[in-house]
Structure 1
Amino acid sequence: MQKILHACIVGAGLMGHGIAQVFAHAGHKVTIFDPDAATLDAAPQRVAHNLEQMGIASAPVLANITFSTDLQTAAREADIVIEAVPEKLELKQQLFIDIARHSPDHTVFASNTSVIPITSIGELLPPNAKARLVGTHWWNPPHLVPLVEVVRTKFTSEAVFDWTFELMLALGKSPVKVQQDVPGFIGNRLQHAMWREAISLVSKGVCDAETIDTVVKQSFGMRMPFLGPMENADLVGLQLAKLVHQVIFPDLCNDKAPNPLLDSLLSQGHQGMRSGQGLRSWSQEKADQVRTELALRLIDSVTKPNV
């Protein structure tokens, strides 16, 4: 992976500018495409802010990035195109049709979708393009969180799957191979299983939302950077794990649809931090504080990794 690649990042928003930053910081040429000029114009400042927080000079990194509102121009020399647009299946399907038309025959196509099966996204592509399509699910913020889930479909060529995994390694990420294209892949299935139970507890009046966060952050959440769930199960012993499951599993939430509490909150305009109210109440100052503290703690964990 010593070769300088040309990466095209489609979408300059929340995830796209951070993914572009990782490639550019590694010395690769990057073109960020976004049809919205305002979003594209804000991207350099967002990248510079990220780098400033990390104590990295922004000028050399930004020198590796160009910006375009024309997809054909952005993709025409790309070795890899990573899509980071909103979670709308039809939008992603059409986008990859356009990308395949405008990019070289060797280009690897990657989607940063969080939950949509990659197979569905590539459903309308010709066979040679399907073979070059993978999932690369980065985590927010992508320039700080090490994990990238590299997802194969039954159409993905072995060479493309392995090449993408090795590229993520070379970028300094901690990739994992997802061998089956299941909705949500690995991380989001685990994360949202916990969210389902947490929201259920609040909706039933067992506790409030703040209590949920306190319990997680002041107990098992403290162990998780050092002790994964499979390690923890083996640590306490599988016999105890089985006994606990026999008692608790029948009472856990197993809803097949979003909890009605979410619909109730959304109907009142409570969208979360952006609206000042969600499961918890947020002032702008408090929301900014959470974002800043998260970034600084992640930067600290990246510069001082656990041994």
Structure 2
Amino acid sequence: MADQPKVTVIGAGLMGHGIAQRFLAAGHPVNLVDPNLQVLEQAEQQISDIFTLLEQPYDKGDLLSLYTEIQPAVEDAEFVIEAGPEILDVKRDIFSQLARFSSPKCILASNTSAIPISEIAKGILHPQRIVGAHFWNPPHLVRLVEVVQGDETSVTTVEQTIALLDAVGMKSVHVKRDIPGFIGNRLQHAMKREAIAMLEAGVCDAETIDDVVKYGFGQRLAVLGPLEQSDLVGLDLTLRILTTIYPSLDTSSTPQAALVERVETGQLGMKTGGGFRQWTPEAADDVRTRVREHLVAKAKQTTTN
């Protein structure tokens, strides 16, 4: 375990500390970087709490190191993953520093959930070693990582990234074309676009849409992907259904008014008490607890299998 490659995580917030825990659990030395010392100290405790939650042993020892500056944290790293704000200019500034201060053999990955890797890497030194590594929230509970190949990312960089992530227990997939949103978010938000459109058209209320997903086809999504399901029921049936419904599906190229108006009036969801649905603090906590317990159970099941 002592010979595991050193990993540096840039950003200790929502995603960063969970990503760091994944590598620590596999025995990697991890440098965790954040300009805010308070955030770093919170992350250290959050990482310990994750080990407790998953009932995994954790003796930090010398594995975890905390830094407020990038340069000393990346000079001896073999793999760096950026988990900073989802703002292109911020990410480009980080990668400009990473390219200057890291070893020429170090892989530089971004956890961006939607920004094309080629846009982040444009004009940055050594773009062949810049790759996407999109973890899902929370990264310590959700196994999937989308490894995104930018226009100039080398095949070797992709292969080494997938091998490293698979070795720490992740499920890596190769995104061969660098498109906004990659695979998962495009699928997820395509469904969300249709859901908002049906709500806006008065087909049903928000709770009904959520119930249809949770108690209907959502129950099989964890074990049956959409193309797998199409093959299961037959492509002839799939074709007949799509021929009927495609002409009436929403094709909006911008977010619908039902979403924009809520944001503009401060109806932001659970954190404000109302969004598409109304939320008391107790109801919001119940949802968070339900999701967390489900994901923890799945994570423990994966660990023991």
TM category, shorter: over 0.9
Seen in structure 2, the aligned counterparts of structure 1 residues 62 and 42 have a Cα distance that, compared at 3 Å, is farther
State the TM-score, normalized to the length of structure 1.
0.94
1:184 aligns with 2:181: yes
Give aligned-pair identity as a percent: 43
Give the SS at the match of 1:250: helix
Give the Cα separation in 1 of the matches to 2:129 and 2:291.
35
The reply on whether 1:132 has 2:129 as its aligned counterpart is yes
| Aligned match of 1:28 | 28
TM-score of the aligned structures, taking structure 2 as reference length: 0.95
Distance 1:147 1:164 in 2: 13
Give 5+ residue unaligned stretches, structure 2.
none
Within-5 A mapping of 1:111-130? 111-126=110-125, 129-130=126-127
Matched, 1:211 2:187: no
Range that drifts further, 195-204 or 273-282:
273-282
What secondary structure sits across from 1:155 in the alignment?
Answer: coil
1:150 lines up with 2:127 in the alignment: no
**Cα displacement string for residues 95-120 of structure 1 (whole angstroms, at most 9, x for unaligned residues):** 10011111111110000000110000
Q: Which residue of 2 aligns with 1:78?
A: 77
Cα distance in 2 between the residues matched to 1:45 and 1:278: 32
Q: Cα offset for 1:276?
A: 2.0
C-alpha distance in 1 between matches for 2:97 and 2:43: 23
- Structure 1: segments with no counterpart, 5+ residues: none
1:235-264 per-residue CA deviation (whole Å, 9 max, x = no partner) reads 111111111111100100111001111111
In structure 1, what is the equivalent of residue 97 of structure 2?
A: 98
- Once the two structures are superposed, residues 248-290 of structure 1 have per-residue CA deviations (whole angstroms, 9 ceiling, x without a partner) of 0010011100111111111221112222222122233332332
Please list the CA deviations of residues 279-302 of structure 1 after superposition, one character each: whole Å capped at 9, or x if unmatched: 122233332332222122112123
CA root-mean-square deviation: 1.8
The within-5 A match list for 1:4-83 is: 4-58=4-58, 60-61=59-60, 64-83=63-82
Q: Structure 2: how far apart are the matches of 1:41 and 1:22?
A: 18
Partners of 2:144 and 2:61 in 1: how far apart? 23
Supply the distance in 1 between the matched residues of 2:49 and 2:90 (Cα, whole angstroms): 29
Where 2:271 maps in the other structure, the secondary structure is helix
Separation in structure 2 between the aligned mates of residue 299 and residue 61 of structure 1, nearest angstrom: 22
Runs of 4+ in structure 1 off by over 4 angstroms are none
SS at match of 1:86: coil
- Verify the 8 A CA contact 2:145 2:172 in the aligned structure 1: yes
Is the counterpart of residue 201 in structure 1 residue 203 in structure 2?
no
3-state SS of the aligned residue for 1:274?
A: coil
Do the aligned residues in 1 keep the contact of 2:2 with 2:27 (CA within 8 Å)? no
Shift of 1:181: 0.7
- C-alpha deviations, 1:127-146, integer Å up to 9, x for none? xx201000001011101111
Q: Which whole-Å CA distance do the structure 2 matches of 1:167 and 1:278 have between them?
A: 40
Distance 1:18 1:192, change over 3 A: same
Partner of 2:248: 251
Question: 1:63, CA displacement in angstroms?
Answer: 5.0
Find the aligned partners of 1:191 and 1:29 in 2 and give their Cα distance: 34
Q: How many residues align?
A: 304
